C-alpha cells in the first residue's frame, strides 16, 4: 500500500463504526487490557493477563501447543524499563530513533511466545507478537493479523520485524491525518485503536470497503 492509498479519516471512522456495530462488547480485549493495567509492574500477573487474550485470539496458532508463560514473564521483566518508556507514548511520537528498540522487543517477544513443545516447537507468530506488544504499549504499538498485513503490503513471511516497522510507519501516517481529538483519544480510544477497528472491519472481516 502506497502513501496515497492510505485511508483518510472519513474511511477510518466508517470502518470503526462498522466494527463497533458488529463487536460492541470486545470482552476479551477489555479483560486483557484491564488485567495488564491493573497488574502493571508485576511481570507474572501481566503475563497471565496477556495470556487471556493471546490464547483466545490466536487459538488457531496455539492449538499446536501453548507458549511458555515463564518465558513471557521473564521477557516482560527483562524489558520492563523499555516498556515503561513506551507505555504512555503516542504513535505520533514514533521516529527513526525508536526502530532499534522496536526490533529488540519484537524479536524478544517472538521468542518468548513461540510454541514451547510438540511438533511445532519453536514456531513463532508475528501476529501474537504484535498483539502482545500492543497490550504493553497500546497507544504506541499497533496490532495486525495475516489479512491486515497483506492489505498493507507488509506480509511477514520474510523479515517479520522489518515488515512490522513498515506497518508502524504507515499507521503513524494514517494517525497524522486524523483530527486532534482522535489523535489524543478524546472518545476514550487511542488513534491506534480506532485505526485497528477500521483494519479489522475492512481486511479481516470485510464489513467495509476502501
Question: Where residue 131 falls among pLDDT bands split at 50, 70, 90?
Answer: very high
Question: Where residue 188 falls among pLDDT bands split at 50, 70, 90?
Answer: low
* Predicted pLDDT at 181: 82
Cβ count near 171 (within 10 Å): 24
* Predicted pLDDT at 186: 56
**Domain membership flag for residue 209:** no
Give dist(CA 100, CA 82) in Å, integer: 12
**Domain membership flag for residue 42:** yes
Cβ count near 15 (within 10 Å): 26
**Domain membership flag for residue 65:** yes
Where b means 16+ CB within 10 Å and e means fewer, 177-210 reads: ebeeebbebeeebbbbbbbbbbbbbbbbeebbee
**Domain membership flag for residue 174:** yes
Backbone CA torsion sign across 24, 25, 29, 33: positive
**Domain membership flag for residue 93:** yes
Where in the sequence is the domain holding 59, given as residue range(s)?
3-204
**Domain membership flag for residue 145:** yes
Please give the tally of structural domains in the chain.
Answer: 1
C-alpha distances in angstroms, 181 versus 14, 36, 178, 193? 16, 25, 8, 13
Q: Find how far residue 5's CA is from the centre of its chain.
A: 22
Condensed to tens digits (0 to 9), the pLDDT of residues 82-121 reads 999 999 999 999 999 999 999 999 999 999 999 999 999 9
Average pLDDT, the chain: 95
Condensed to tens digits (0 to 9), the pLDDT of residues 40-90 reads 999 999 999 999 889 999 999 999 999 999 999 999 999 999 999 999 999
**Domain membership flag for residue 115:** yes
**Domain membership flag for residue 177:** yes
Amino acid at each position: 500500500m502506497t502513501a496515497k492509498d492510505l485511508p483518510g479519516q472519513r474511511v477510518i471512522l466508517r470502518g470503526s463504526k462498522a466494527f463497533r456495530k458488529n463487536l460492541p462488547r470486545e470482552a476479551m480485549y477489555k479483560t486483557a487490557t484491564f488485567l495488564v493495567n491493573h497488574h502493571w509492574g508485576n511481570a507474572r500477573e501481566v503475563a497471565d493477563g496477556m495470556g487471556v487474550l493471546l490464547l483466545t485470539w490466536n487459538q488457531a496458532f496455539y492449538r499446536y501447543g501453548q507458549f511458555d508463560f515463564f518465558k513471557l514473564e521473564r521477557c516482560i521483566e527483562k524489558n520492563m524499563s523499555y516498556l515503561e518508556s513506551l507505555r504512555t507514548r503516542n504513535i505520533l511520537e514514533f521516529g527513526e530513533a525508536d526502530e532499534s528498540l522496536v526490533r529488540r522487543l519484537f524479536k524478544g517477544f517472538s521468542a518468548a511466545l513461540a510454541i514451547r513443545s510438540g511438533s511445532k516447537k519453536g514456531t513463532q507468530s508475528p501476529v501474537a507478537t504484535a498483539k502482545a506488544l500492543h497490550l504493553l504499549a497500546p497507544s504506541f504499538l499497533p496490532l495486525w493479523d495475516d489479512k491486515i498485513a497483506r492489505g498493507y503490503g507488509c506480509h511477514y513471511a520474510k523479515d517479520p520485524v522489518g515488515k512490522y516497522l513498515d506497518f508502524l510507519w504507515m499507521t503513524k501516517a494514517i494517525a497524522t491525518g486524523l483530527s486532534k481529538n482522535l489523535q489524543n483519544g478524546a472518545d476514550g480510544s487511542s488513534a491506534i485503536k480506532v485505526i485497528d477497528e477500521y483494519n479489522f472491519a475492512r481486511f479481516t472481516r470485510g464489513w467495509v470497503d476502501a
